[in-house]
Amino acid sequence: MQPSFDRAAEDLGNAIHLEHVNVQVPDQRLATLFYVAGLGLTRDPYLMVSDTNMWVNVGRSQFHLPTGKAQVLRGHTGLVIAGRAALLERLTSVAKKLAGTAFAFSEHNDYVEAICPWGNRVRCHEPDAARFGRITLGIPYVAFDVPAGTAKGIAAFYPEIMGIPAELDNGDGTVARARMGKDQYLLFRETDRALPDYDGHHVQMYITDFSGPYRKLQQHGLVSQEDNQYQYRFRNIVDPADGRKLFTVEHEVRSATHPMYLRPLVNRNPAVTNQTYAHGHEQWDWAMGPDQYDAR
């Protein structure tokens, strides 16, 4: 019998990869302790290797951490990191050196929440193919706290302006979800809490229809920066029905022809040290192996 497949399940829309989250940090040493030693991630060995910026690899995505006044994302970044016990051990090992900062971590049923020295929250989940696809290390989502009454307009903005599928993600219409790539999303959760002013942090995505959204953003006066042939930026998400500003977060938009699109990233295995070294195990396998592949 010929198998039946849900072909629509593999549609991505215009966005094909959520590549990085960018927040400024005042101290590169403390950032190294949290992101590299604590979380177990890998500093990119090729680019941004001085003390003014650090790119930290997370599977096929990154954190960008330029030196400057601390920026705090209003919400949290979701990570998939295999090995909860090892993660907790690493976070415990850096706790004394991060004393006196905002650093903290806590266990929850399906994630470990770690807070960076300046207050950025990271939720670390175990690999789960049903929720996050086949990754064992990566950034499956970034979740933003947004003002009450904005989710519906945000869910309309992404498909109409950016060509990106989006939907209201729960029964009461208070969460919008925009698809950024294979098993990657931006989430926007309404809250009644007062939100801090936007401080300049940003997220970066790759899209295939590069000029179409650009023209629509221009028509709404939303293009905030012209970077180069392959990249532009916008900050404000508006309701396409009336132009009302809903939320502000900078989007760095790159074309799929950008020279760095899917640049291979080095991901170390943090379990390998000088005391535990084993040939051939230095790299973290950021995707599930063939024995875990979907049933054929």
Phi/psi for 75 (5° steps) reads 145, -135
Quickly count: other Cβ atoms within 10 Å of residue 30's Cβ: 18
Q: Is the pLDDT of residue 9 over 70?
A: yes
Q: Which domain holds residue 32?
A: 11-270
pLDDT band at 289 (very low <50, low <70, confident <90, very high): confident
Position 284 in a domain: no
Position 285 in a domain: no
Question: Six-digit token pair at 50?
Answer: 């001085």
Position 50 in a domain: yes
Position 277 in a domain: no
Q: At CB < 8 A and 24+ separation, what contacts does 103-111 make?
A: 103/34, 111/78
Question: Six-digit token pair at 12?
Answer: 């991505």
Position 4 in a domain: no
Mean pLDDT within 167-192: 93
Residue 69 CA from chain centroid, whole number: 21
Q: What is the pTM of this model?
A: 0.94
Q: Return all residues near 74 (Cβ < 8 A) that are at least 6 apart.
A: 144, 145, 195, 196, 198, 249
Residue appearing with tokens 């939907």: 167
CA distances to 43, 153, 249 from 246, in Å: 35, 7, 10
Position 291 in a domain: no
Q: Is the pLDDT of residue 280 over 60?
A: yes
205: enclosing H helix or E strand: strand 202-207
232: enclosing H helix or E strand: strand 231-238
Position 257 in a domain: yes
Residue that wins the pLDDT comparison between 23 and 12? 23
Q: Is the pLDDT of residue 296 over 60?
A: no
Say which CATH number the domain at 91 has.
3.10.180.10
Q: Nearest Cα to 68, choosing from 260, 202, 265?
A: 202
Q: Nearest Cα to 190, choosing from 133, 148, 226, 242?
A: 148
Position 287 in a domain: no
Domain count, the chain: 1
The mean pLDDT of the chain is 95
